[in-house]
Each structure stands twice: as C-alpha cells, then as structure tokens.
C-alpha cells in the first residue's frame, strides 16, 4: 500500500476510536443519524458506528474540478447517428411539444432502443464533452443501443439553498434536483437554462420525458458541503432540507416521466481535506453538524421507497464498486471526484444493473474492482 493511502487508513481508524463529545447548540446542530435495518444487517459485526467529528467548517475545502480539455474530433471519429439522435436546431430555445418532436429513426426501427437521462452534480458533469465522462462510458457499456442525455450540473445539490425557498417559477435560478425535476415537467421555463447553463439547452430540447427509459440521479455530496439539514421533523415540507427536497424531487420526476425507471445513486465514499491539505476525515466520521456523508446516503435509502419503479443504488458502501479507504487513492483524484479509472469502474457498475434489468446480462452481479481498470 502506498504511504499516503496508509496514512489515510490509519487516520480513519484513529478517529473512529475516539470518544467524541457533543457540542452545545450554539456551536452546531446535533447530527441526525438514519439507520436502516437492512443496512445494519450488512455491516460487519463490531463495526464502529458513525461518529460526529465537527471541524471548523471554514477549514473544510470543497474540491473544484478544472474545465475538461475537449479534443477536436476528426470526421471519421464522430459518434454514429444512432447513438446521438438528431441534431437540435441551434435557434430553438423553447422545448418542443411531444407532437413537434420528430420520431428518431432508431426508435422507429428498434423497439429496444433506450433513452437515458443523467441528473446530478460534478460526478456526472466531470469530463463532459469527452469520451471519459461517466455517461459516455455507460453509453459504450450498455448492450442495447441507447441515447444519452446529460443534464448534470457541477456544484448542484438536492435541496434548495436558503435564498431559493421562496423563488417563483418565472424567476427560477436553482439548479438543484428539485429545480431540474420541475424543469422537466414544465413548471420551470427553459429560460432558466438559457441564462445560466446555455450549453445544456440543446440537450434539454431533445428530451421527451415520457419516452425516457431510465433516469440516473446522483445528489448528496454538495448537500453535505452546503451544511444542509438532513431532516426537519417540525417542517417535513421544507425543501431546504435534504429528505424533503429529495422526496419532492422524485415526485416531480415521476410526474414528468411516469414510465421511466429512476436509479437513485448515492454519493461515493469520500475523504475530506483542509485548506492546508491536512486530512480531516472521511464520509463515515466527519460531520458537518447535521451528520456525516454516510447519513445523507442513508437518507436516500429512506426516500426511494416512497416511489414506484425506483431503485436505490448504493455506490458508497462497497456493494457496487470496491471504493474504500484502501483504494481511495486510485478512485479519487481529490478525495471526492472520481479519476478516469474510477469513472470507468463506476460506469461499469451501473451498466451491469441496466443490462441485467434489460435481460442482456444473465450472470450474477459482480462487484466492480478498480484493479480491472
């Protein structure tokens, strides 16, 4: 094991062994812990429970990704039409109605053609426009022909920010899960994208939500960084808390795409560092005051059960990929964002799920290992 990896593992073990006392209400809110019986049953006997280690939040650094370098493609390297669909009209700004959207040739000729939409944060937006983004890897790994739409936005969260709670639809600016779901079902005008994310307008204009086969969702890590309350038992409809926003967003998605299967992917295991580069802790033990990242992961498990045709995909606890303190250096480029190899492994895990769901993979699901990539 590399020295840096060993330090991280030892630091995690050391912090987990500490008895942490709670802070007063003037310092930080109490951490909320969600424990699901099925989750507890899968934990190793004697495993340490999540501890609340509350650092100086000003010292917690949220990693930022550089803009990807998009290589120029030669004519013979362009993706085939059946994978990308018809090119949008550059002057088109309003989303066409279902009647106005042309039927794609591949959908007419191939009833098994899949349409897949990605919603989420920088984990899916990372390397957009290149062949190494997670959606692009999945496009290649799925056995059936498919069209991929990527509306992921870096920095986005599930919950609304404090200043976004009372925003009117006409003046909408939030790229949250809730905001994107309302955009898809027509409650928020496309002018929101035109103003803040113009590069995504052509993608959005090609989507007919009612024809989507899968919607793959990834939110939660920015809610942790934003110090978002996980659950407010006094106001269960407060969309600035994680559980309420996630639950309501799923309902909005179901309204927009009643037949789509929604894959609720959790954040991946993460490690956090301070401004000086010092290791602060990982997603199991480092609390933002409301909980550790793993508490947000567990809250997603609670939410997905409320919607039909919705699947909880645990990408955090080693059930799908072998990302843990020992492999973190290979998977993570900055403690949070996946490396190219990590993105490939992540995509392989999701592609397995879709291939099995479509009946094209008959073998048992195998945990994806970074050593294979």
Instruction: Print the domain residue range for 316.
Output: 3-14+52-63+103-372
Q: What is the mean pLDDT of residues 47-59?
A: 59
The tally of domains found in the chain comes to 1
Query: What's the pLDDT band for 57 if we cut at 50, 70, 90?
Result: confident
Query: What's the pLDDT band for 55 if we cut at 50, 70, 90?
Result: low
Residue 333: per-residue pLDDT: 96
Whether 40 maps to a domain, the answer reads: no
> In angstroms, rounded to a whole number, what is the distance separating the alpha carbons of residues 262 and 300?
13
Q: Looking at residue 25, what DSSP letter applies?
A: T
Whether 42 maps to a domain, the answer reads: no
Whether 204 maps to a domain, the answer reads: yes
Residue 81 has pLDDT above 50, yes or no: no
Q: What is the percent of the chain with per-residue pLDDT over 90, rounded to a whole number?
A: 62
Q: What is the CATH number of the domain that holds 280?
A: 3.40.50.1110
Whether 71 maps to a domain, the answer reads: no
Whether 77 maps to a domain, the answer reads: no
Residue 84 has pLDDT above 50, yes or no: no
The residue ranking higher by pLDDT, 198 or 23, is 198
Which sign does the torsion angle of CA 82, 84, 90, 95 carry? positive
Cβ–Cβ < 8 Å for 57, 227? yes
Query: What's the pLDDT band for 319 if we cut at 50, 70, 90?
Result: very high
Whether 24 maps to a domain, the answer reads: no
Q: How many helices (H) and strands (E) does the chain have?
A: 14, 7
Cα atoms in the 13 Å half-sphere on the side-chain side of 335? 20
Query: What's the pLDDT band for 16 if we cut at 50, 70, 90?
Result: very low
Q: Residue 316's closest CA among 340, 300, 302, 334?
A: 300
Q: What is the mean pLDDT of residues 128-137?
A: 96
pTM of the model: 0.78
Residue 109: per-residue pLDDT: 57
Whether 26 maps to a domain, the answer reads: no
> In angstroms, rounded to a whole number, what is the distance separating the alpha carbons of residues 172 and 193?
10
Residue 26 has pLDDT above 70, yes or no: no
Whether 133 maps to a domain, the answer reads: yes
Q: What is the mean pLDDT of residues 22-36?
A: 35
Q: What is the mean pLDDT of residues 63-73?
A: 60
Query: What's the pLDDT band for 98 if we cut at 50, 70, 90?
Result: very low
Residue 20 has pLDDT above 70, yes or no: no
> How many Cβ atoms sit within 10 Å of the Cβ of residue 25?
8
Residue 67: per-residue pLDDT: 60
Query: What's the pLDDT band for 169 if we cut at 50, 70, 90?
Result: confident
């Amino acid at each position: 094991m590399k020295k840096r990896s060993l330090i991280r593992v030892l630091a995690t073990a050391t912090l987990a062994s500490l008895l942490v006392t709670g802070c007063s209400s003037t310092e930080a809110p109490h951490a909320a812990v969600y424990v699901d019986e099925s989750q507890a049953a899968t934990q190793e006997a004697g495993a340490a429970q999540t501890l609340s280690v509350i650092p100086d939040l000003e010292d917690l650094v949220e990693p930022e990704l550089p803009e990807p370098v998009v290589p120029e493609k030669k004519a013979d390297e362009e993706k085939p039409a059946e994978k990308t669909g018809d090119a949008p009209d550059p002057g088109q700004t309003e989303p066409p109605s279902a009647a106005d959207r042309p039927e794609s040739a591949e959908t007419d000729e191939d009833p098994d053609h899949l349409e897949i939409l990605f919603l989420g944060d920088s984990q899916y937006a990372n390397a957009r426009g290149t062949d190494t983004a997670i959606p692009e890897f999945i496009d290649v790994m799925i056995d059936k022909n498919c069209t991929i739409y990527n509306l992921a936005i870096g920095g986005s969260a599930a919950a609304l920010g404090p200043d976004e709670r009372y925003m009117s639809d006409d003046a909408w600016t939030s790229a949250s899960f809730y905001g994107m779901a309302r955009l898809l079902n027509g409650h928020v005008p496309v002018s929101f994208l035109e103003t803040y994310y113009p590069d995504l307008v052509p993608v959005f204009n090609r989507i007919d939500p009612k024809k989507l086969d899968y919607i793959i969702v990834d939110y939660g890590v920015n809610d942790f960084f934003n110090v978002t309350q996980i659950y407010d038992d006094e106001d269960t409809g407060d969309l600035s808390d994680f559980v309420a926003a996630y639950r309501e967003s799923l309902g909005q998605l179901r309204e927009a795409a009643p037949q789509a299967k929604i894959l609720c992917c959790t954040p991946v295991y993460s490690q956090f560092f301070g401004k000086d580069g010092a290791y602060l802790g990982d997603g199991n033990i480092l609390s933002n005051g409301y909980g550790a990242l793993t508490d947000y992961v567990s809250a997603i498990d609670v939410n997905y059960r409320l919607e039909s045709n919705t699947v909880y995909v645990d990408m955090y606890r080693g059930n799908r990929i072998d990302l843990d303190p020992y492999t973190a250096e290979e998977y993570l480029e900055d403690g949070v964002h996946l490396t190219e190899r990590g993105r490939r492994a992540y995509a392989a895990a999701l592609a397995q799920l879709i291939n099995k769901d479509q009946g094209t993979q008959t073998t048992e699901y195998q945990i994806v290992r970074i050593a294979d990539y």
